Amino acid sequence: MKESKVNIAEEPEGLKGEGFFATSLEKVVGLARANSIWPLPFATSCCGIEFMATMASDYDLARFGSERLSFSPRQADLLMVMGTISKKMAPILKKVYLQMAEPRWVLSVGACACSGGIFDTYSVLQGIDKVIPVDVYVPGCPPRPEQIIDGIVKIQELVKSESLRRRNSDEYKDLMASYGIE
Amino acid sequence: MLENKYVLEALQAQFGDAILAAEESYGMLSFEINPAKNTEIATWLFEHPELKVTFLTDLCGVHFPNNAGKELGVVYHFHSFENNFRMRMKAFIPVANPTINTMTTVYNAANWMERETFDFYGILFEGHPNLKRILNVDDMDYFPMRKEYPLEDATRTDKDDRYFGR
Amino acid sequence: MDELLSNAFPKPTAEKEYNILNLGPTHPATHGIFQNVLKMDGEIIIEAESTIGYIHRAFEKIAEHRPFYQITPLTDRLNYCSSPINNMGWHMTVEKLLGVEIPKRAEYMRVIIMELSRISDHLVCNSVIGVDTGALTGFTYMFQWRERIYEIFEEICGARLTTNIGRIGGLERDFSPLVYSKIREFLRSFPAAYNEFMQLLERNRIFMDRTINCGPITAEKALSYGFTGPNLRAAGVDYDVRVMNPYSSYQDFDFKIPIGTSGDTYDRFMVRHEEIMQSLRIVHQALENLPAGKFYAEVPEFYLPPKQEVYNTMEGLIWHFKIVMGETDVPVGEVYHAVEGGNGELGFYLLSDGGRTPYRLHFRRPCFIFYQAFTEMVKGVYLSDAILTMSSMNVIAGELDA
């Protein structure tokens, strides 16, 4: 087995014996979700080109179980916002986020999406966290593909450790309410 | 090869007083015209059998707030492919009544460039088929490229002026 | 019974009904954020209306507030597929304003960088045409070679995509030995791989059927709409800024301008293909004949002095401070300079009042100007052909909206 190049996801904590393995459902679901994230690329500008490089053969995001891009928000788990979001675009971004089903995560790639970047102007939204909640921020203008992959891995860690009840918690509802999302 | 002087003389012979000023800047002929004649001059240049200025390279606006009566300007760059000759035409209009003839009757390319200029400077192009904002949101109520408006977003809350020396 | 049926399926009325389809602004097939509201008769587009401005970032307003040096990073983000061309175009504009003479070596180095980035720009466009016709294979192969070009850029300037390459007055540093070996390696091994990619598409029956006569435009129309670059050349007009107004020593090189005949998608594809081949030739020639000498001009007011001088000489320190703070004087004047960008004539209209920032800087963005023809080009064609037309025009959102 050790010779093999195939990597298998690490098993969660649990009780192991001959022919059985017992762990909490939460951990199994987390494991399954984390290694099969379907990202929705919301690529608007330069960072989108680096995302293309991340998807392509040199960096190959498929190694992390995310090669299946979901261009429909209905089936996506992860919203990857890459590039400048202008004020004209902000309502559309929010609409796309609202169309996604729970559980959903948001990865903000690049300085523009995180904070407006170098474009501190009248037309640019100063960070997408003004309109939707963000889970992981990836800095850089644009970030290298390695950084984008690092962001995905961070998201995977979040997904893995998320409690199944989190989306029902009052804290989460308050967060959504603060963005005006019911 | 066309000479700047030759073209300018041809223009002056045809339009006389409509050519208000002319200069040569970095090798390119640059002349200011009476704004009412812009389309007429462009059409003449387009149809001229020798000059053949048939390509509109660029169209943009400028704003000189201190230039009373001529605050807003439209700058056209033309290119004659056959003669490899470039020229710049400028027309200035007052900010109180910023209207000028559209160039879309001569060049299709002027359509969006004029919309952009309207969006940025509020210059009204008379006869334009669809003059509305192009880059900014439709309900914007000012013309952001005019000098009096700030670059930065006024609604920003996370900036503490103390840290920016203001 | 008959009555029931006729109620369930109303008889077609004399007036035809059309569907309104909203394509974009986040539609995956448009490779960018363009919105087109289409009036459809079945699958055929009757009328289209584009909305743009979804990533308007106010470049021109920012440029009025930044010293000349700090505008280079802005130009990076115009056409981000070939940012070195934009950087150099801007530098050449300022050099024209200042009247600076650039050493031959710097010009040749610039040519090498610009042509490499032209290759990478056209590679994206051509491989994406492949993707839109259903051939994802070419895309994955060609992106490997784009990475090789990125590695060269990384070795030259430290960045991959938004390069910020060069300085006003030359380049920031000379090519290291690794740069030469990387470029040579690229020139040696790229053509074979590229050939393989072309064999996949060039004479492929499906590809040809899909692209020939798809989104054609006549030369007159193209000129009236202000087309430049590969899209204009595909329509049959041999206008190339590199030849008509040579800059950066382009007159020294021997290369051809490919042109098409019908201006359809296949022609655009083939023109870009041939331009890649010509760019390779130019890089070859520039590398062979790279003159010795300095790689920057003597403009202490604008060219950042080397760190050695900054730390050890008074003048170096003063100039360093003045440049970084943007306190150097520029002449009053107005200048227009154009370079052949990845998508056509990329022009910079710079109006300087002698202050630390440009009084007005206008970018002539080729994408913005030729994209307005799209609504007319797609009238009466199938929706899937419209997608292909758009991707073959290589509209880059950053350049479109500025």
DSSP string for A108-159: EESHHHHH-TT--STTB-S-GGGTS--SEEE-SSSPPHHHHHHHHHHHHHHH
Q: Do A126 and B150 touch (CB under 8 A)?
A: no
Q: Do B145 and C61 touch (CB under 8 A)?
A: yes
C371 in Cβ contact with C347 (< 8 Å):
no
Closest residue in chain B to residue A119, using alpha carbons only: B152
Best of C362, C374, C401 to substitute, by most chain B Cβ atoms within 10 angstroms, is C362
Distances in whole angstroms, Cα of residue C144 to Cα of each of A148, C141, C200, C230, C274? 18, 6, 16, 24, 20
Question: pLDDT of C122-175, one tens digit each?
Answer: 999 999 999 888 888 888 899 999 999 999 999 999 899 998 888 888 898 899
C-alpha span between A46 and A144 (Å, rounded): 11
Contacts of A118 in chain C (CB under 8 A): 62, 73-74
Q: Do A44 and C54 touch (CB under 8 A)?
A: yes
DSSP string for A40-83: EEEE-SHHHHHHHHHHSTTT-GGGGT------SGGG-SEEEEES
Exposure letters B61-87 (e unless 16+ CB within 10 A, then b) = bbbbeeeeebbbbbbbbbbbeeeebbb
Q: At what angle do helices C177-201 and C136-157 cross, to 10 degrees?
A: 170
**How big is the A-B interface in CB pairs under 8 Å?**
24
Distances in whole angstroms, Cα of residue A68 to Cα of each of B19, B60, B147? 63, 44, 48
> What is the 3-state composition of chain B as percent helix, strand, coil, each rounded to the nearest 5?
25, 30, 45
Distances in whole angstroms, Cα of residue A143 to Cα of each of A46, A54, A139? 10, 11, 6
Per residue of chain C (402 residues), what is the pLDDT tens digit? 566 666 666 566 667 788 899 987 888 777 778 889 999 998 999 999 999 989 899 999 999 998 888 899 999 998 898 899 999 999 999 999 999 999 999 999 999 999 999 999 999 999 999 988 888 888 889 999 999 999 999 999 989 999 888 888 889 889 999 999 999 999 999 999 999 999 999 999 999 999 999 989 999 999 999 999 999 999 999 999 999 999 999 999 999 999 999 999 999 999 999 999 999 999 999 999 999 999 999 888 888 888 888 999 998 999 999 888 878 888 999 999 999 999 999 999 999 998 889 999 999 999 999 999 999 999 999 998 999 999 999 988 889 888
C293 in Cβ contact with C104 (< 8 Å):
yes
C-alpha span between C89 and C346 (Å, rounded): 8
Beta bridge partners of C345: C340
Within 10 A of B145 (CB to CB), how many other CB atoms are there? 23
- What is the predicted pLDDT for the residue at C5? 60
Question: pLDDT of B12-60, one tens digit each?
Answer: 999 988 999 999 989 899 999 999 999 999 999 999 999 899 999 999 9
Beta bridge partners of C306: none
* Cis peptide, bond prior to residue A73, ω within 30 of zero: no
